A and B are shown apart, each in its own frame.
Chain A
Amino acid sequence: MPQEIDREELRMLVDQGAQLVEALPAKEYGEDRLPGAINLPLGRLGKEARDVLEPNRPVVVYCADSA
């Protein structure tokens, strides 16, 4: 299970080189995204994560909110 983090923990992880992944559809990603985030919508996350993400760096995934 992924570990839940808040905004401050996110900033610290990104400063330490974490990879940010937005799991929302491409349209929403195109409109607004966190700086440096890449887009891996939920349907593609499992299949493509290994190809796109570096295995030695932490990964933070986010959606719109927790709802």
Chain B
Amino acid sequence: MYDYATGKLDWLAAGLPSEGSNASRPRAGDVARSDVPTCRMDESLGDVRERVGAAGWNACVVVNEEGVVLGLLRSKELGGDAAVRIEAAMRPGPSTFRPFVAVEEMAEYMIEHDLESAPVTTSDGRLVGLLRRSDAARTALELRQKEGGAG
């Protein structure tokens, strides 16, 4: 007999398929945008801002070589001095969220804590994508309308 000691939460946190009544409900990992720009700590803010803006974003996730999240640049941080290195400009150690968290729960949390975006990561800190508050709120609203209509 074997014991998968880290259990169901480890499996769900890795964004792997599951079964059950929650399986069809949208989760943070489903709605998070995996095409979010990323950068390294040793880049300059000016270079990163240009790249992020060209991609149509106002946020960038700072990662290391393994894709582990180290920091976050939201619109406020991106507006800083162009010569500053990302290491000094970023918001270090941002709160991250696991992919299995229900998107309604994320929407409520982001509104309550005034978060415009939130990095979604695996349990070992690797970036899955960036969840935007507008995406989370819209998805939660659509879900509520759909369930209200069905019930």
Contacts and interface: CB of A to CB of B under 8 A. Distances in A.
Contacts of A10: 2, 4, 11
Given A2-B2, A5-B2, A62 B8 contact: yes
A47 to B, nearest CB: 16
A12 B10 CA distance: 16
A33 B8 contact: yes
Contact of B20 (A3, A33, A62, A65): A33
Given A2-B1, A13-B2, A58-B2, A33 B7 contact: no
A59 to B, nearest CB: 5
Give the one of A7, A24, A32, A59 with max B CB within 10 A.
Answer: A32
Interface string B1-18: 111111111111010111
Contacts of A66: 5-7
Instruction: Using C-beta atoms within 8 Å of the partner chain, give the interface range for chain B.
Output: 20 to 34
Nearest to A13: B2
A2 to B, nearest CB: 4
Contact of A60 (B2, B14, B23): B2
Given A2-B1, A60-B2, A35 B18 contact: yes
B127 to A, nearest CB: 18
Instruction: Using C-beta atoms within 8 Å of the partner chain, give the interface range for chain A.
Output: 20 to 34
B19 interface: yes
B2 A65 contact: no
Given A62-B8, A63-B8, A65-B8, A32 B2 contact: no
Interface of B: 1-12, 14, 16-23, 100
For the complex of A and B, list the 8 residue pairs with the smallest distance between their C-beta atoms, beginning with the closest. Answer: A2-B3, A62-B4, A65-B7, A66-B5, A2-B1, A65-B9, A60-B2, A32-B20
Interface of A: 2-7, 9-10, 13, 18, 22, 24, 29-37, 58-66
6 contacts: A2-B1, A30-B21, A31-B22, A32-B20, A34-B16, A65-B10
